[in-house]
Structure 1
């Protein structure tokens, strides 16, 4: 049998499929890129709350059990989450090895670039591995200018039950009014308008 008889379209397709599956299994960056492209066609849109001002004022308290939630900011200083009251806080729990985190990061970076000059909105990209050096290199390599935070206390399960990425939005009263587990496209206008509306309420 000649070599060209052995090489059929189905063999080529099978080979490409095997390479694709292996890349999806062993390369978080490749898997992130694939899911990123799925996001561009409209998948993984977060459900944006559209309630009244009163409903937006309600939510999960940041300090229900009188336990302060602490983070280290980009400069390494410990901050209390309750000190952010008066501002809308966008918190994303993520890790550098997490493909869905990698996939959604460009959309968060786009949102951040559009709102970073709004002093009523705070972005906190919380590296759950607590490895600031690695997470900052991750941001630098991809030209993201998102602020990296690390946990400095335990995180309540009402905030993050272990799934990453998990994204929260706290209103000006320190209440969680949005929670999304799994990746999402946060660059859409609806989500941006949701954050902007919260700053005005």
Structure 2
């Protein structure tokens, strides 16, 4: 192997290592399995209110990561809207728009078209998306009163799967 190729390989390896390290203020991605602590975050809603996950301790939480360009997200939203009304006094439901991979304008249009009334959080920098391993969307996560993961599901949920996730929190 020539000196050029060895040098290039070294530079690329170092670049990959540095990019994987992240910064100290970013939530770190950890395997999200049942019983593990849910990564804390602070995000703003569409109306500018701040929501910090750790402030919701003592409450049951359902997070749904979505994007406006995602067909399965669009298909499951009517059922999520129905669940938000059915469980509004028992479970805090938040949509998490991966705004770093979307646009605010498209997200706003999506919310209007879907007639969503439950709070929508904006992950503008993608830090929460990364912490929750939300590489693809939709992803749904339920969190118990102690801030621990109850369930983590990739992909579009059926109404029955949603019902199961909400019931598992109660």
TM (norm. structure 2) is 0.68
Aligned to 2:168: 194
| Structure-2 separation of matches of 1:156 and 1:105 | 19
Map of 2:137 onto structure 1: 164
What per-residue deviation string (whole Å, max 9, x for no partner) do you get for residues 160-192 of structure 1? 241111100000000111100000114564344
Change (3 A) 1:152 1:144: closer
Corresponding residue of 2:91: 121
Contact 1:123 1:147 in 2 (8 A): yes
Task: Judge which range, 164-173 or 75-84, deviates more.
Answer: 75-84
Task: Indicate yes or no: 2:120 matched with 1:148.
Answer: yes
Identify the match of residue 83 of structure 1 among 55, 72, 86.
55
- After superposition, the CA RMSD in angstroms is 2.3
The 3 A distance-change label for structure 1 pair 141 and 168 is same
The whole-number CA distance in structure 1 between the counterparts of 2:104 and 2:57 is 25
Mapping for residues 2-81 of structure 1, pairs under 5 Å: 59-63=35-39, 68-81=40-53
**TM-score normalised by L of structure 1:** 0.58
Q: Give, in angstroms, the shift of residue 109 of structure 1.
A: 1.0
Per the TM alignment, residue 152 of structure 1 is displaced from its structure 2 partner at its CA by 6.0
Structure 2 unaligned segments of length 5 or more: list them: 1-33
CA contact (8 A) 2:95 2:118 kept: yes
Q: Which residue of 60, 64, 69 corresponds with 1:97?
A: 69
State the number of aligned residues.
Answer: 133
